[in-house]
């Protein structure tokens, strides 16, 4: 009974109740949540909560708020909706629509474990839907109608959610580039997942929507073929060489039976020169749809349920517990105690690695790489150096000297002027 009560216990932040974790990463935890409205109105939501130790960093807070602001301007069925942002004391929450489904990363991994390739019609439907969602992001505007020029910069299988309703949705605009941001990426700093990073992004150049088209094309290649395109088998440096100059085979060379027209579309999206790619994500989506025979949402939903049945069933039970817990909500003490960040990185998945490195700095011997699903060390070409930790004693001495100077000046003035 005590265990069951603990599962139902919630922490109240503003008008939201936070329950157990759905997922946890290096920067934030995603919780089951519930909107507590007037006259008993309730709605299940997913709540992304910045780790307390990171919430104290102004740069990280600005980046998190930017994500909420940008995502709120993107309204499309193929983008996970952002409903609210809550700043309560030192807590920072991003409230999103709860999507019952599974990440494309886990679905692709499940198919590889089975030794199977994803049915082509499902692949085409998922990638086409994701491209339509990305196009909506690229076309987003401010409240005054000015283009935001959003570039996701982190398009990867783990940032695509496929629901049991058969709808693919783009999520996580945490490192998106836009014309209006509180936190700007310094010139020469590269952010993103190495295996899905466009060559111009890796080179530190200014990127536009075509960088997202490239990343979506990498995903398309991998879904068609059933394996990774760029594998970090010999270390990060070798992987960078592959990204910049390695040969990219057409999918049919690895997956016989792939239509030649699809080969051409994939390689067009993977052109290393952005001028030679599709100009927009929508252009590529329409090209895929012209191939014909895309799966319907009902077929995709059945495929998702078949692959992720156990995980989906467990989440459904948990969601029911959350929805029934209205009479057992308890206010928990705010959690602001520093703790080790969780590491949930899957050792045989390279696409979970977010790299942040500085092209203008020499790399340290052991660069730290922050992942959306934990942290891991890889040797990227260069790396942003860590900031030095503050020195409390030095600060105290500086203030003491300043105070002594002020007192001495006051004594002197009093003596000089009687």
Question: CATH number of the domain that 95 lies in?
Answer: 3.30.200.20
Domain boundary among 328, 360, 379: 328
Q: What's the chain's Rg over C-alpha atoms?
A: 24
Given this model, what pLDDT does residue 116 score? Answer: 95
Summarised one tens digit per residue, pLDDT across range 230-242 is 876 655 666 788 8
State the DSSP string of 342-381.
P----TT--TT-EEEEETTSPPPSS--EEETTEEE----S
Summarised one tens digit per residue, pLDDT across range 69-94 is 888 889 999 999 989 888 877 788 88
200 versus 395: the higher-pLDDT residue is 200
Q: Mean pLDDT across the stretch 405-413?
A: 63
232 plus 201 within the same structural domain: yes
Q: Mean pLDDT across the stretch 343-371?
A: 44
296 plus 189 within the same structural domain: yes
Residue 326: pLDDT band (50, 70, 90) is low
92, containing H or E segment: strand 91-97
118 plus 217 within the same structural domain: yes
117 plus 226 within the same structural domain: yes
What is the domain extent for residue 49? Answer: 2-99+309-328
The answer to whether 208 is a known catalytic residue is: no
pTM for the model stands at 0.76
148 plus 268 within the same structural domain: yes
How many domains does one find in the chain? 3
Summarised one tens digit per residue, pLDDT across range 165-197 is 999 999 988 666 655 444 444 444 556 688 899
165 plus 119 within the same structural domain: yes
C-alpha count within 13 angstroms, C-beta hemisphere, residue 75: 5
Question: What are the tokens at 160?
Answer: 């695509």
| Most trustworthy range by pLDDT among 3-12, 180-189, 292-301 | 292-301
402 plus 266 within the same structural domain: no
Angle between helices 281-289 and 209-225 (to 10 degrees): 30
Indicate the pairing of strand 11-13 with strand 91-97: unpaired
Percent of the chain, pLDDT > 90? Answer: 47
Active-site entry in 66, 154, 212, 358: 154
């Amino acid at each position: 009974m005590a265990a069951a009560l603990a599962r139902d216990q919630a922490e109240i932040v503003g008008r939201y109740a936070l329950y157990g974790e759905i997922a946890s990463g290096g920067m934030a935890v995603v919780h089951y949540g519930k909107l507590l409205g007037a006259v008993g109105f309730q709605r299940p939501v997913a709540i992304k909560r910045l780790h307390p130790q990171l919430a104290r960093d102004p740069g990280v807070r600005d980046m998190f708020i930017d994500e909420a602001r940008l995502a709120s301007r993107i309204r499309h069925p193929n983008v996970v909706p952002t409903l609210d942002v809550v700043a309560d004391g030192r807590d920072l929450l991003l409230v999103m629509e709860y999507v019952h489904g599974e990440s494309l990363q886990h679905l692709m991994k499940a198919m590889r474990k089975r030794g199977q390739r994803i049915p082509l019609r499902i692949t085409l439907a998922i990638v086409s839907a994701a491209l339509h969602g990305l196009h909506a992001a690229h076309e987003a505007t401010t409240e005054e109608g000015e283009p935001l020029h959003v570039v996701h910069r982190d398009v990867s299988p783990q940032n695509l959610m496929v629901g049991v309703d058969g709808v693919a949705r783009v999520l996580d605009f945490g490192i998106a580039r836009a014309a209006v941001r509180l936190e700007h990426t310094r010139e020469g700093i590269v952010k993103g997942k190495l295996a899905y990073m466009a060559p111009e992004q890796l080179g530190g150049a200014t990127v536009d929507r075509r960088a997202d088209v490239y990343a979506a094309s990498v995903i398309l290649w991998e879904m068609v073929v059933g394996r990774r395109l760029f594998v970090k088998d010999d270390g990060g440096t070798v992987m960078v060489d592959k990204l910049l100059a390695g040969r990219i085979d057409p999918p049919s060379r690895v997956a016989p039976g792939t239509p030649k027209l699809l080969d051409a579309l994939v390689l067009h999206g993977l052109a290393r020169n952005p001028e030679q790619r599709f100009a927009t994500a929508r252009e590529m989506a329409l090209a895929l749809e012209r191939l014909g025979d895309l799966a319907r949402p009902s077929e995709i939903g059945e495929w998702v349920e078949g692959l992720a049945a156990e995980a989906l069933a467990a989440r459904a039970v948990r969601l029911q517990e959350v929805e029934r817990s209205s009479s057992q909500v308890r206010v928990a003490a705010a959690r602001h105690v520093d703790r080790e960040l969780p590491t949930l990185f899957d050792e045989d998945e390279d696409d979970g690695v977010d790299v942040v490195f500085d092209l203008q700095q020499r790399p340290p011997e052991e660069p730290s790489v922050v992942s959306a699903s934990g942290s891991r060390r890889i040797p990227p070409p260069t790396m942003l150096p860590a900031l030095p930790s503050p020195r409390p004693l030095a600060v105290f001495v500086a203030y003491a000297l300043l105070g002594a100077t002020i007192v001495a000046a006051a004594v002197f003035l009093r003596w000089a002027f009687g």
